[in-house]
Structure 1
């Protein structure tokens, strides 16, 4: 067996599998590891948390570096009118160990102190992980606020956060006296680490490129983060490097600095997060010179963490009766949450549709409500009744997404069988997937790089009803393990495209899903079983963590 590259006392208790002996460090802005550890916002964190669990299960020579967000993302609650409210609260975690490591990094002309917390692998079954913080006594109040709120709304402070993750992460590795063979940027938030390495090696770009790999999660060029070059320079994003050295290394000559483009030029490999996203990324970036090859590693989720054991036992044994009974029990658990939050009593015998993920415009949370006549007809069907639940967190300052959330709260107020839940974090996500019969996913096609929520729904006897985007393209067999909305014709206006997709969803619900669920229960049980069987092992993050080593880190 191989040895960990980390020094004691930070090395994992497991022996490294020689297959994964190459030393690697994984930088990410957020990790969803456990409900109690609130340092994540959504899908990127869910993915990273699953990756860290699978990397540990496979005994990989990898560690994670993130940020200790002392106020987390935000608490999603309800105001007096039941609308969404945002609360920020400081959180403490007894399971994190203070390493005692302290160092300074330059941010906006000041030397800011950074401390490092350590998460031992045995706490949550992850690889060794470090979390950086400026919220320590050595700093003044302004510097302490840098690492308090995940994705702070202030652009200048966001840059400072990225410096803490990137430069701070590189400095932490120097303090530990290690230089991993692979530096994995999961999104470009930690890009400043590359400039620390470039500075350390006196401007030798090859020393950066041989170490760095980059995972992009954004399928539109406009969605990739950009900043004014002068702002980044004044923030010390590039450390002590001369501007000419930075521009030569990144090939960026104008005043706008594109983080993803720079990452593609400072890495030797990059990947999208689904097969389709890999194709979209190569088209999106292909006209730029000197970028690294872009492949794909399709996202996945940790089955050991997400699967209900009773449902999995029923799947393994092919016991459809127990599968039905266990699903009914799990729906009851979800409906207790619905009743507690909304005062509405749902039935476990009724087909339950769930839409739950980050609220963002392209995900179209309210799509099926845009035709109110047909939506009401669906909800008022007493012969084949349905129940619908929405949940998800908008960015706390995305007022358009918040209004969409509140619109759904108002719209569902008078429907006893439609509800909107708050507090979409790991545990509510798990319970929603346990209780969903249909997992509704209707992003604008090519806008969802991968998505992962439908994977864990499928693991728990939920059937995906989806537009043909992201990971679904690699999983779905329409009518066998899922229901897929046929793609719209290219060139349609946004209005006509949305109408096409909405009509497709209603057509599937009314003519396929409801008749099968109520009139052909054996056929329904078979499609549920097919979905559960087909989603593993490929969409289990053990495959994903292995694939990163064998295709990206190699």
Structure 2
């Protein structure tokens, strides 16, 4: 495997997690998948970019679910040297007063254009390191606060130093994908401040010219924070002095605050999320670049073949998917049937009750946590049962992991298991473990309807519905995140709530459940079972309107225009 050499000017994209391919457990969910999709589109578009992340030798975790839905976790170790190539570049970082050696492994992403984007995965499992330090690149989002802060030193400080050791001395932009990477900006500031200790704002401005920051969470608790005692203990003396000089810590180290303070361009990941973020950080200008997904990755094989036939060059330019309006309806129906057969086969391999490939199938897959409201569909189980009996067979497929320390999220999975037993056989429900890229593709392409029920305004973006759209699967979604930007009701899906209310304050579960049931029994199931060609036309509009826009090709064009240009 060839080791890629740096281009004269490069964009360095830092993310705590990056989804490279399904067998590599270097991601936990949407943040990592977004990072991987962005890097894939960069390769498609021949953008000079490099990814930086941690190795995560033992992954996020393997999810085990017993018959009652109780989740247990196991390490997800993987054969690193079978997927990555070790580089000869290393650097030293100081952690808790110890010198820690960091080395880099390389993964190459080859785009549709033939261009290559390298991703460097940082690793501290070297014999020369302290036993504790050797574990710091083992687990994604594992350990305690000390472990997490040490990891963020490796990602931010170690990432900058490893890139320089590789010859990336003229990085054009450092892009921080969420606050986990913010110490890269502190590293740059410490260098500048050392050269001009009496001119702090000049040092700040020098770093800001290089940095871009993307925030992904509208939840205050979602921003990494560390006590100042721990911070002083973990950081080097120079970094601690630079942090104090920066003056952005008010009782704790808020990683988002550091990233915001030292970035020239900051954005949320939808228009709505940017509005919410400005209420959390009212003193800062926060722009908006709506997320997307990588079209060629998230179109199922049957749909890739369909697009190759009817919209050539869509892999190089996802906007061409708007011409899906010319694809015959029968061809769309056949591609969906092929994708659905693969999904039902996987469900029947793992679930106790066999699913019917002809029954209306709802998909719901995302991290199991309370604000996502995965159990809203079961708010009135008897109502759901009557809908299935009176309006046509209904079956539901769930997937998603709860964080090991999220007991409420784990309880939600158990609740779904209990409801599944209560609703059988009229409504079949399956919960598939170990949601990953491969399973995500099966679900978002094989379902007939994609369900999204977060509690507004806590959904920053949501990208699973975008993946579904690339396979013609319409959504039924609460108006939050990306769905607020979707075109017309009934053309590419349906909404719970209205654009005039429910987008600022939390919504009541009973009202949202009532509207969900009303849409299912009054509109969606009658259309699916009563007018198959009209349903296929809806699928075609979903591709042409939603997939052609909500993709990472469009997203990267916006980053180049708004974030990466000289100011």
Is TM more than 0.5 here?
yes
Please tell me whether the aligned partners of residues 30 and 44 of structure 1 are also in contact (alpha carbons under 8 angstroms).
yes
Q: Could you tell me which of 533, 537, 540 is aligned with 2:548? A: 537
Partner of 1:260: 256
Deviation at 1:490?
5.6
Deviation at 1:96?
0.7
Deviation at 1:162?
0.6
Change (3 A) 1:300 1:493: closer
Give distance in 1, aligned partners of 2:447 and 2:352.
19
Deviation at 1:268?
0.9
Please tell me whether the aligned partners of residues 83 and 409 of structure 1 are also in contact (alpha carbons under 8 angstroms).
no
Change (3 A) 1:160 1:117: same
Please tell me whether the aligned partners of residues 232 and 240 of structure 2 are also in contact (alpha carbons under 8 angstroms).
no
Instruction: Tell me if 1:459 matches 2:470.
Output: yes
Change (3 A) 1:56 1:508: same
Partner of 2:286: 294
Partner of 1:182: 173
Gaps of 5+ in 2: 198-202, 308-323
Deviation at 1:449?
0.7
Farther-moved stretch of structure 1 (307-316 vs 458-467): 307-316
Give distance in 1, aligned partners of 2:456 and 2:65.
32
Residues 152-301 of structure 1 mapped to structure 2, 5 A cutoff: 152-177=142-167, 178-201=169-192, 202=194, 204-236=203-235, 240-243=238-241, 245-252=242-249, 254-286=250-282, 288=283, 291=284, 293-301=285-293
Partner of 1:520: 531
Partner of 1:3: none
Secondary structure in 1 aligned to 2:508? helix
Deviation at 1:165?
0.3
Give distance in 1, aligned partners of 2:477 and 2:443.
17
Change (3 A) 1:428 1:490: closer
Change (3 A) 1:239 1:55: farther
Deviation at 1:173?
2.0
Change (3 A) 1:489 1:546: closer
Partner of 1:393: 401
Q: Deviations over 1:299-325 (max 9, x none)?
A: 000001111253352746522122222
Residues 1-150 of structure 1 mapped to structure 2, 5 A cutoff: 9-11=3-5, 22-79=9-66, 81=68, 83-93=70-80, 94-122=82-110, 127-150=117-140
Deviation at 1:410?
2.6
Please tell me whether the aligned partners of residues 52 and 64 of structure 1 are also in contact (alpha carbons under 8 angstroms).
yes
Give distance in 2, aligned partners of 1:34 and 1:517.
34
Alignment RMSD = 2.2
Deviation at 1:399?
1.3
Secondary structure in 1 aligned to 2:91? strand
Secondary structure in 1 aligned to 2:101? strand
Gaps of 5+ in 1: 1-7
Q: TM-score, normalised by structure 1?
A: 0.91
Deviation at 1:519?
1.1
Partner of 1:4: none
Secondary structure in 1 aligned to 2:278? helix
Please tell me whether the aligned partners of residues 438 and 462 of structure 1 are also in contact (alpha carbons under 8 angstroms).
yes
Deviation at 1:106?
0.9
Farther-moved stretch of structure 1 (355-364 vs 136-145): 136-145
Q: Deviations over 1:254-301 (max 9, x none)?
A: 322221122111111100001111222223211x3xx4x311111000
Give distance in 2, aligned partners of 1:175 and 1:22.
16
Partner of 1:376: 385
Change (3 A) 1:35 1:509: same
Q: Deviations over 1:116-148 (max 9, x none)?
A: 111133499861110101122222331111110
Q: TM-score, normalised by structure 2?
A: 0.89
Instruction: Tell me if 1:506 matches 2:494.
Output: no
Give distance in 2, aligned partners of 1:520 and 1:512.
11
Change (3 A) 1:147 1:255: same
Farther-moved stretch of structure 1 (49-58 vs 414-423): 414-423
Please tell me whether the aligned partners of residues 356 and 391 of structure 1 are also in contact (alpha carbons under 8 angstroms).
yes
Q: Could you tell me which of 326, 329, 332 is aligned with 2:335? A: 326
Secondary structure in 2 aligned to 1:397? coil
Give distance in 2, aligned partners of 1:263 and 1:250.
13
Over 4 Å off, 4+ runs: 123-126, 314-317, 488-494
Change (3 A) 1:490 1:77: closer
Give distance in 1, aligned partners of 2:547 and 2:445.
17
Give distance in 1, aligned partners of 2:16 and 2:274.
22
Give distance in 2, aligned partners of 1:263 and 1:221.
15
Change (3 A) 1:398 1:82: closer
Farther-moved stretch of structure 1 (327-336 vs 219-228): 219-228
Deviation at 1:189?
0.5
Deviation at 1:76?
1.2
Give distance in 1, aligned partners of 2:143 and 2:521.
42
